[in-house]
Chains A and B, each alone.
Chain A
Amino acid sequence: MENIANIQGMTVLAVGIIFGLGALGTAIGFGILGGRFLEGAARQPELTPMLQTKMFIVAALVDAVAMIGIGFALFFTFANPFLAAVSGGAG
C-alpha cells in the first residue's frame, strides 16, 4: 500500500516536471523564433510569406520534444506502467 502511494506521488512529480520543463523550453524557443521572424519581416517585408512558411516548419520542430514529453506524461498519468509493475494493474 505504501509502495503504491510512493509510486503515485513520484509519478505526479515526474509529470509536473515534464510539463514544466517542456513548457519552459518551448516558450523560450518560440519567443526567439517569433522575434527573429518579425525582425526579418521588418527588414524585408516582401519575404514575409516565405519566412512565415519556414517559421511554421521550425515551430513544429521546436514543439516536437515537448509534445513527446507531454504524450509520455499523460501516459504515466492514466496508464502508469510503474504502478502496473508493482501492483499487477490496480490503479
Chain B
Amino acid sequence: MAAVEHAAEHAPSANEYILHHLTFLSNKQAKGIVDFSVINWDSVFFSVVLAILFGGSFYIAARKAKITSGVPRGFQAFVELLVEFIDNSVKETFHGTTKLIAPLALTIFAWVFLFNSMDLLPVDLLPAVAHKVGVEHLKVVPSTDVNVTFALSLTVFVLIIYYSIKMKGLGGFVSEFTMQPFSSSNPVVKVLLIPANLILEIVPFIARPISLSLRLFGNLFAGEMIFLLLALLTLSGFGQLASVGGWLGVIAHVLLGLVWAIFHILVITLQAFIFMVLTVIYLAMAHEHH
C-alpha cells in the first residue's frame, strides 16, 4: 500500500499524483464531455482479462461438476454455492420462463464483483509495473470508468426493452407509457392524459439505467479516491523513514488503509449484489403483464 516514487523523476506533488492516477490510458484526449472516438485501453484490457478469468474458471468447474460424483471440494464447491445463491435470488423475484435471466444475473454479479475487487490491490502496484514497461497511465479498476458501467447498464436497458416488447407486444409496450398511471374508459380523456402519463413513465424509465450505472461508478470512484488520498500519506517513498513524521505517515497509511480496505470489501460485494438484484427486478417488471 506504500506509494512508489516514479523512477527517474522528481517526487510528484499531491495534486500531480492524484491527477496522474485519475487519468486513463486512452488513445487520444477527449474533446468535450462526450467523445465516442476515445477508447480507454486499460479498462478494456482489465474487463476482458477478468471476463476470461471468470468465464474460464466457472466453465472448468461446470465441467468438473458433470464428471465428479459425491461431495464437491474446493473451488467447485464455491462455484456451486454461488450458482445456488444466484438461483434462489432470481427465483424470488423473477417468475417468468426466460432462460437468460439467471445466467445473466450470475455473469453480472461475478463480473462486477471482479471489477470492484481490483480496487483492493495497492494503488501503485500495477501502475508501477506498467511504468517499467513504458505505459504511462494505468487505471486498474474498470468500474471506475463511466464507460464500463454505462456499457453494462445500457446493455441491461436494451434487454429490458427487448423483453418488454417480446412479452407484451409493441402495442402493450407503448400502452405501458401512455395508459399508465392515469387511465380512463373515455377515449377522448385517454388521449388527453397521454402527455401526463408519458412524463410520469418516461422519467423513471430513463432514470433506471442511469442510476444503475452511476451508483456503481460513484461508489467505486469514491472508494478509489480515498485509497489515493491515503496514499498521499506516504508520497515521499522510502525517504520518509528517516524522520519521525515520516514514520507516523507510514503507520497512519497502513492502519487507515487497512480499515478502509476492510470496509471496502463490504461495499464491493454489496454493489455487485445490488447491480444484479436490480437487473433481475427490472427484467421481471419487463416480463409481467397487467
**Inter-subunit contact A68/B214 (CB<8 Å):** yes
List A contacts of B18 (CB < 8 A): 78
Which of B19, B218, B225, B271 is close to A68, meaning CB atoms less than 8 Å apart? B218
**Inter-subunit contact A74/B221 (CB<8 Å):** yes
A60 vs B219: C-alpha distance when bound (angstroms): 10
Which of A56, A57, A67 is close to B215, meaning CB atoms less than 8 Å apart? A67
A64 vs B153: C-alpha distance when bound (angstroms): 15
8 Å CB contacts to B: which residues of A29-79?
56-57, 59-61, 63-65, 67-72, 74, 78-79
Q: Provided the pairs A56-B270, A60-B274 are in contact, do residues A70 and B215 lie with their beta carbons within 8 angstroms?
A: no
List B contacts of A71 (CB < 8 A): 214, 217-218, 221-222
8 Å CB contacts to A: which residues of B215-237?
215, 217-219, 221-222, 225
**Inter-subunit contact B277/A64 (CB<8 Å):** no
Which of B211, B219, B273 is close to A56, meaning CB atoms less than 8 Å apart? B273
Q: Which residue of A lies closest to B211 (CB)?
A: A64
List B contacts of A56 (CB < 8 A): 270, 273-274
A57 vs B262: C-alpha distance when bound (angstroms): 20
Q: Chain A interface mostly helix, strand, loop or mixed?
A: helix
List A contacts of B22 (CB < 8 A): 78-79
Report the minimal beta-carbon distance from B159 to chain A, rounded to whole angstroms: 20
A81 within 8 A of B: yes
Tell me how many residues of A have a C-beta within 8 Å of chain B: 18
B67 within 8 A of A: no
Among A56, A57, A64, A67, the one with the most B-chain Cβ atoms within 10 Å of its Cβ is: A67
A17 vs B211: C-alpha distance when bound (angstroms): 21
Tell me how many residues of B have a C-beta within 8 Å of chain A: 18
Q: Which residue of B lies closest to A75 (CB)?
A: B221
Among B33, B215, B270, the one with the most A-chain Cβ atoms within 10 Å of its Cβ is: B215
Q: Chain B interface mostly helix, strand, loop or mixed?
A: helix
Report the minimal beta-carbon distance from A53 to chain B, rounded to whole angstroms: 8
Q: Which residue of B lies closest to A60 (CB)?
A: B274
Report the minimal beta-carbon distance from A67 to chain B, rounded to whole angstroms: 3
A72 vs B225: C-alpha distance when bound (angstroms): 12
List A contacts of B273 (CB < 8 A): 56, 60
List A contacts of B225 (CB < 8 A): 74
**Inter-subunit contact A67/B219 (CB<8 Å):** yes
List A contacts of B270 (CB < 8 A): 56, 59-60
Report the minimal beta-carbon distance from B130 to chain A, rounded to whole angstroms: 21
Which of B19, B33, B215, B221 is close to A60, meaning CB atoms less than 8 Å apart? B215
Where the two chains meet, the residues of B that have a C-beta atom closer than 8 Å to any C-beta of A are 18-19, 22, 33, 211, 214-215, 217-219, 221-222, 225, 270-271, 273-274, 277
Shortest 10 CB-CB distances between A and B: which pairs?
Answer: A67-B218, A71-B218, A60-B274, A64-B215, A68-B214, A68-B218, A71-B221, A70-B222, A67-B219, A74-B225
Known: A56-B273, A67-B222, A72-B218. 10 other contacts (CB 8 A): A60-B270, A63-B215, A67-B214, A67-B219, A68-B211, A71-B214, A71-B221, A74-B225, A78-B18, A78-B19
A-B contact pairs, 8 of them (CB 8 A): A56-B270, A60-B274, A65-B211, A67-B215, A68-B215, A74-B225, A78-B19, A78-B22
